[in-house]
Amino acid sequence: MAAPEERYGRETMTRTILHVDMDAFFAAVEQLRRPELRGKPVVVGGSGNPHSRGVVSTASYEARAYGIHSAMPLRTAFNKCPHAVFLPVDFSAYGAASRQIMAILREYSPLVEPLSLDEAFLDVSSRPEVPRALAEEIRRRIKDDTGLTASIGIGPNKLLAKIASGLHKPDAVTEITPDTTTAVLRDLPATVLWGVGPKTAARLEQTLGVRTVGDLQRIPLAQLQELLGPRWGEDLYRTCRGEDDSPIVTDWEPKSLSRETTYQYDTRRRETIIATISALAADVVGDLHDEGYRGRTVTVKIRYRDFRTHTRALTLPEPINDGDAIRQTAVALLDRFALDRPVRLVGVRVSGLVKTGNGKQETGNAEP
C-alpha cells in the first residue's frame, strides 16, 4: 500500500475553505429578539425548566463566565448561576435565522455545506478576492443583515478551516495557511482534531503520553494503527499534520430517522414504556412521510437508570413506511429487553432508508 504522503501529495489542487461558526447561536437569537436579555446570562436548553432533566444547548458568553457550558445538566447550570435566564429550545426560530445565514453564504459560493443550524463550510477557491478580505466581508454581511456575530476560519481544507474558526471566538476571522499550519497546531490539545473525544484523548495520553497535536505528530504511523486500528490510525496520522482532502458536500441524504425521550422519573411499568414506544414510532413515521422515505431496519433503544444503554433491531424483508407495521415491530422488540431495572430513556429508530419520492418537499438545493 502506498504511504499516505504519496497518495495525498503536494500536487493536490490548492483550495480555500471557509468555516463559518455562529457565536453562542441559540442564546444570541434569543438575546436579539428579546433586547431585555442582552448583557445577561442566558441558558438555552431542554424545556427551559432548570429543575427538570435536560442539558444546556447553548450558554451566552455572560453565562459562560459562571462556568456554564454546552452539555452541562440544567440543574448543574442552575446551581452555578441561579439568576440566569433559562429558556426552552425554539428550533423554529433558530431554523429561520439559520436559513437566512445560509442564503447569505450561497451568495458567495454555490459550494456550501451546512454542518448544523449554526455552522457551514464554504469553498471559495474560485473567488478572486484575498480570502481574509472576503471572510471579513461575509462576517460584516451576516452582522448587518441578521444582527448576529460569526467567527470565520480560513484554511486550505475543511479540517484547518474548522480549527481556525475556533481559535479566536467570538466575532473574529482567523486564517491558517500551509506555512503556519505546523506552528499553529503544535501546542493545541489533541481534542481539536475531528474524532478525538474524551475517551480517545485519555487513551492517547495514558498509552503514548500524547497531549498535544505536536506530541501526536511524533508518533509513528504503525504505533497509531496498533492503538486505534488500521483505518482510524492512518486518519489520525494525517489529520494531526493538517492533511485533509475531504470534499464539500452540498447534498446530503439521511441514513436514519429517530426519536427518543428521557422520562422525568424512571419507570419499570411495561404499559408506560409501550405507550412511549408507540408515540415515538408514530413521530418517526411522520418524519418518514414528510421527508419521503421508507426504511427496512427498526431499532428500539433502552437506557436504564445506571445509564447502561442497549439496542435491539429487526430488519424487515422490504423497506416500509406503514405506521402500524413500524409501531408493531417496535413494540415487539421490547420483549427482547429485560425490564428488571428502572428505565430512564426510550428511543425508536428506522434506518436502511430509501427514497419514495413522495415527500412533502425535495431538498431545497436539489437540481431544478
Residues annotated as part of the active site: 119
Helix (H) or strand (E) holding 210: none
CB of 193 to DNA, least distance (A): 7
Segments in the chain forming alpha helices (H) = 4-7, 25-33, 61-64, 74-80, 91-108, 131-146, 158-165, 181-186, 198-208, 213-217, 221-228, 230-239, 270-291, 323-333
Site for DNA in 138-177 (CB under 7 A): 162
* Spatial distance between the Cα atoms of 232 and 113, rounded to a whole number of angstroms: 24
For DNA, give the closer residue by CB, 70 or 217.
Answer: 70
List CB contacts of 265: < 8 A, sequence separation 6 or more. Answer: none
For DNA, give the closer residue by CB, 124 or 161.
Answer: 161
Among 69, 270, 310, 355, binds DNA (CB under 7 A): 310
Site for DNA in 62-121 (CB under 7 A): 70-71, 73, 75-76, 115-119
CB of 211 to DNA, least distance (A): 14
Among 15, 158, 238, 259, binds DNA (CB under 7 A): 259
Sign of the four-CA dihedral 326, 328, 329, 331: positive
For position 308 contacting DNA by CB under 7 A, the verdict is: yes
* Spatial distance between the Cα atoms of 291 and 204, rounded to a whole number of angstroms: 41
Among 12, 126, 315, 365, binds DNA (CB under 7 A): 315
HSE-CB for 366 with a 13 A CA cutoff: 7
Closest Cα partner for 300 from 326, 325, 270, 271?
A: 326
For position 272 contacting DNA by CB under 7 A, the verdict is: no
Total site size for DNA, rule CB under 7 A? 58
Among 258, 267, 278, 328, binds DNA (CB under 7 A): 258
Sign of the four-CA dihedral 262, 264, 267, 273: negative
Segments in 120-175 forming alpha helices (H) = 131-146, 158-165
* Spatial distance between the Cα atoms of 229 and 288, rounded to a whole number of angstroms: 36
For DNA, give the closer residue by CB, 38 or 91.
Answer: 91
Among 255, 271, 366, 367, binds DNA (CB under 7 A): 255
For DNA, give the closer residue by CB, 115 or 127.
Answer: 115
Q: Which span (6-14, 98-106, 180-188, 346-354) binds DNA, by CB under 7 A?
A: 346-354
Give the contact letters, 189-228, x = binds to DNA (CB under 7 A), - = no.
Answer: --x--xxxxxxxx--------------------------x
Beta pairing class for 293-304 and 343-351: antiparallel
For DNA, give the closer residue by CB, 136 or 266.
Answer: 266
Q: What are phi and psi of 93, to 5 degrees?
A: -70, -45
In what order do the strands lie in the sheet containing 173-175? 112-116, 119-123, 17-22, 150-155, 173-175
For DNA, give the closer residue by CB, 11 or 307.
Answer: 307
Beta pairing class for 85-87 and 42-44: parallel
CB of 139 to DNA, least distance (A): 18
Among 37, 227, 313, 332, binds DNA (CB under 7 A): 313
For position 276 contacting DNA by CB under 7 A, the verdict is: no
C-alpha separations of 151 from 80, 173, 174, 323 in Å = 27, 6, 8, 43
Sign of the four-CA dihedral 207, 229, 116, 258: negative
CB of 53 to DNA, least distance (A): 4
Site for DNA in 8-67 (CB under 7 A): 46, 53-55, 57
Beta bridge partners of 351: 256, 297
CB of 71 to DNA, least distance (A): 4
Among 209, 229, 247, 286, binds DNA (CB under 7 A): 229
Helix (H) or strand (E) holding 268: none
CB of 278 to DNA, least distance (A): 15
CB of 74 to DNA, least distance (A): 8
Residues of this chain that bind DNA (CB under 7 A):
46, 53-55, 57, 70-71, 73, 75-76, 115-119, 162, 191, 194-201, 228-232, 254-262, 287, 297, 306-315, 336, 344-345, 347, 349, 351-352
